[in-house]
Amino acid sequence: MKMLTRNGNKEYLESLKQRLEENGIPAVIEGTETARMIFPTFIFEPTLWVYLNHQFEDAKNLINNPDYEATTGIDIEEFYANQPDQEELNTEVTNLVFSAAVYIFAGLVAIWLLIKFFGWALWPNLG
């Protein structure tokens, strides 16, 4: 994903997103809730992103010129139909968190064992 633009006007970003998707460029608006909650809002303005990096140049050209003919357009309905649903995303996140926890635990055990070993090797009478 690549960010195209940042703007506090959500309606403007929605219109750009619609223009992109009408030309076969799937896009997403991020940060609409964050911008409302955090001050100063200009730092956390909502942003418009393209999903597919190879469509970035076409997307920029479409933003600057509504009459531009995109060359990298795809079938938007098919693109969104092939995206994972929320349950699949939740499962992936859960697996990622569990894996990270296992690696962190293994790392802590390894550090504890090293400390015990070097403590015993350096000061055998202490322990």
CATH number at residue 61: 3.30.70
pLDDT tens digits, one per residue of 51-74: 999 999 999 999 999 999 999 999
Percent of the chain with pLDDT strictly greater than 90? 65
Structural domain span for residue 76: 2-83
Res. 118: pLDDT tops 90: no
pLDDT at 44: 75
For residues 104 and 67, membership in a common domain is answered with no
For residues 77 and 118, membership in a common domain is answered with no
For residues 102 and 52, membership in a common domain is answered with no
For residues 67 and 109, membership in a common domain is answered with no
Count of domains forming the chain: 2
If one counts every other C-beta atom within 10 angstroms of the C-beta of residue 54, the result is 9
For residue 77, with 0-12 CB atoms within 10 Å meaning exposed, 13-18 middle and 19 or more buried, which class applies?
A: exposed
**Mean pLDDT calculated for residue range 25-44:** 70
For residues 107 and 76, membership in a common domain is answered with no
Res. 89: pLDDT tops 80: yes
Virtual CA dihedral for 71, 62, 7, 31, nearest 10 degrees? -20
Do 44 and 34 meet the contact criterion of CB atoms below 8 Å apart? yes
pLDDT at 86: 83
pLDDT at 78: 94
Contacts of 2 (CB under 8 A, 6+ apart): 49, 50, 53, 56
For residues 57 and 105, membership in a common domain is answered with no
For residues 91 and 111, membership in a common domain is answered with yes
For residues 24 and 76, membership in a common domain is answered with yes
Do 13 and 29 meet the contact criterion of CB atoms below 8 Å apart? yes
The answer, as to whether pTM is greater than 0.85, is no
Question: Sign (positive/negative) of CA torsion 53, 56, 59, 63?
Answer: positive
For residues 67 and 122, membership in a common domain is answered with no
